[in-house]
């Protein structure tokens, strides 16, 4: 990871029906930092928390928020989630999840080798301007 990005917040969240709401609340509390990108950041994080709830087998997951000079990065870590559940859409829900991540984030990805780390970034200039840039994966 880019050393210019520093950990701002970390929390273990129980993987239950309240997890998506908890994510929305936590991300929303950083609205001053996120500026015009708050809604998109909440939407992407909520979608990933919902996927963890639906497809994960762990009891909890970790939310990490990083702050950089030019971007904010959100990571969700679950040791039980299958990488394929997020990256290979088998149904309409999976296809919609990928489309949503492409549309509301600047970059996103999944890292997995026994652990699934789903991350996305919203660029600082995008936050200030409220505009979306080309997506990369």
Q: What is the pLDDT of residues 14-23, one digit of tens each?
A: 989 999 999 9
- Residue 39 lies inside a defined structural domain of this protein: yes
What backbone phi and psi angles, to 5 degrees, belong to 111? -115, 135
- Residues 88-135 have pLDDT tens digits of 556 777 788 888 999 999 999 888 765 678 899 987 665 555 444 444
Please, are residues 44 and 101 in contact by the beta-carbon 8 Å criterion? Answer: yes
Residues 3 and 5: their CA atoms lie apart, in Å, by: 5
Q: What is the domain range of residue 87?
A: 6-129
pLDDT confidence of residue 69 = 81
Per the prediction, the chain carries an average pLDDT of 80
Please, are residues 69 and 129 in contact by the beta-carbon 8 Å criterion? Answer: no
- Residue 119 lies inside a defined structural domain of this protein: yes
Domain count, the chain: 1
- Residue 116 lies inside a defined structural domain of this protein: yes
- Residue 135 lies inside a defined structural domain of this protein: no
The CATH number assigned to the domain holding 79 equals 3.30.565.10
- Residue 117 lies inside a defined structural domain of this protein: yes
- Residue 137 lies inside a defined structural domain of this protein: no
């Amino acid at each position: 990871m880019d050393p210019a990005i520093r950990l701002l917040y970390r929390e273990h969240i129980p993987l239950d029906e309240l997890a998506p709401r908890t994510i929305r609340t936590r991300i929303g509390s950083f609205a001053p930092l996120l500026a015009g990108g708050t809604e998109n950041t909440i939407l992407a994080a909520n979608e990933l928390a919902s996927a963890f709830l639906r497809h994960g087998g762990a009891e909890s997951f970790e939310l990490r928020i990083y702050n950089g000079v030019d971007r904010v990065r959100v990571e969700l870590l679950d040791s039980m989630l299958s990488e394929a559940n997020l990256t290979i859409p088998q149904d309409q829900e999976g296809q919609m999840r990928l489309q949503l991540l492409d549309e509301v984030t600047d970059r996103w990805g999944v890292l997995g080798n026994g652990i699934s780390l789903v991350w996305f970034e919203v660029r600082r200039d995008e936050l200030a301007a409220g505009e979306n840039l080309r997506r990369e994966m």
